[in-house]
């Protein structure tokens, strides 16, 4: 049966060896060369199996696996680690991750195919209880306070979505959300209260956005939303919903009833040009600056 297989390695010899194993088969092969790209492709393409090098740039193979095990769409996808040496193989064994196997270089074609066939035949394993292992992937991808994505991961996703937008000519939007009065709250009520406000704002942003959107924390009081396949009117509407929702919300903490507002800068593109796509963040920053200068608690378009 034809399958979609993701192969992740920054070692060309390893990548070629695994790809050649499936030459002549009808499998659809997807490749990635770093850990963050692997997470993106696993979520986007939903492969039936993943061959994953232990040593990767940006996010190590074990952290990629932990991330995928903590996310519902990929929690049961078989992962076959590709270890370059015994030390890598031991690190995989010590991790005790579910639904995983490990191959040690040099990679034998028959063994690769046998492991894939074994996972296919043993589909009942996908119904085993979920194993939570969030700590490592949270540190790699998420801001520990708000659980929004780190700026580094947000920027990686922006580059990925910008390229995909240009390739398929679909719109893309970026929204920058700034908490207007956070400095005043920190000064008057303390940083703990300010942090509680940031956590609650982040939760509202996640509820207002789609699963396909990326909510990141870009600065001490700024959030960013990456919205694939949303055109200019849709981006404006989302920004207006964000401003309205936050301004109407009562942020209660230790008998305080705080009024919080946000300003939002919006930038969107139709997806015709990669250079224009990559300039989205700068345009959104300029729009946010105008919103702050114009009195805050408002939306400006870049």
Q: Any idea what the CATH number is for the domain that residue 14 is in? A: 3.40.50.2300
Q: Which of 86, 107, 139 is the last residue of a domain?
A: 139
Q: Could you list the residue range(s) of the whole structural domain that residue 242 is in?
A: 142-301
**What is the number of structural domains in the chain?**
2
Residues 226 and 253 in one domain: yes
Predicted TM-score (pTM) of the model is: 0.63
Residues 40 and 13 in one domain: yes
pLDDT of residue 199: 93
pLDDT digits (tens, 9 = 90+) for 104-146: 999 988 888 888 887 665 543 444 444 444 455 556 688 889 9
Residues 133 and 147 in one domain: no
Q: Which of 87, 110, 139 is the last residue of a domain?
A: 139
Residues 148 and 132 in one domain: no
Q: What is the mean pLDDT of the chain?
A: 87
Cβ(152)–Cβ(39) below 8 Å: no
Residue of 160, 250, 152, 159 lying closest to 204 (CA atoms): 250
Residues 167 and 128 in one domain: no
Residues 116 and 191 in one domain: no
Q: Which of 139, 159, 176 is the last residue of a domain?
A: 139
Residues 209 and 234 in one domain: yes
Residues 83 and 106 in one domain: yes
Of 21-30, 57-66, 112-121, the range with the lowest mean pLDDT is: 112-121
Q: Any idea what the CATH number is for the domain that residue 155 is in? A: 3.30.70.270
pLDDT digits (tens, 9 = 90+) for 158-183: 888 888 898 889 999 999 999 998 99
Residues 177 and 133 in one domain: no
Distances (CA, A) of 92 to 55, 75, 170, 205, 215: 11, 17, 39, 36, 31
């Amino acid at each position: 049966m034809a399958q979609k297989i993701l192969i992740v390695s920054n070692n060309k010899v390893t990548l070629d060896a695994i790809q050649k194993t499936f030459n002549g088969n009808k499998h659809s092969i997807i490749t990635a060369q770093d850990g963050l790209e692997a997470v993106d492709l696993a979520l986007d393409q939903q492969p039936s199996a993943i061959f994953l090098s232990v040593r990767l740039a940006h996010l190590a193979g074990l952290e990629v696996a932990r991330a995928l095990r903590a996310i519902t769409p990929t929690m049961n996808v078989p992962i076959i680690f590709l270890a370059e040496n015994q030390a890598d193989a031991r690190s995989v064994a010590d991790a005790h991750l579910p639904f995983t196997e490990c191959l040690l270089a040099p990679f034998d074609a028959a063994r690769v195919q046998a492991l894939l066939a074994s996972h296919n035949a043993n589909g009942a394993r996908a119904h085993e209880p979920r194993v939570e292992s969030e700590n490592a992937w949270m540190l790699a991808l998420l801001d520990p306070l708000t659980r929004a994505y780190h700026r580094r991961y947000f920027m990686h996703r922006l580059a990925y979505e910008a390229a995909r937008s240009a390739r398929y000519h679909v719109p893309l939007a970026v929204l920058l959300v700034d908490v207007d009065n956070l400095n005043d709250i920190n000064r008057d009520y303390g940083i703990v209260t300010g942090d509680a406000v940031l956590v609650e704002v982040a939760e509202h942003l996640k509820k207002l956005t789609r699963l396909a959107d990326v909510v990141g924390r870009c600065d001490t009081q700024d959030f960013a939303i990456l919205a694939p396949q949303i055109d200019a009117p849709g981006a404006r509407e989302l920004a207006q919903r964000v401003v309205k929702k936050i301004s109407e919300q009562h942020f209660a903490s230790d008998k305080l009833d705080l009024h919080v507002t946000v300003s939002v800068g919006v930038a969107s593109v139709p997806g015709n040009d990669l250079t224009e796509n990559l300039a989205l963040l700068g345009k959104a920053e300029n729009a946010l600056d105008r919103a702050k200068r114009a009195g805050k608690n408002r939306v400006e378009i870049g």
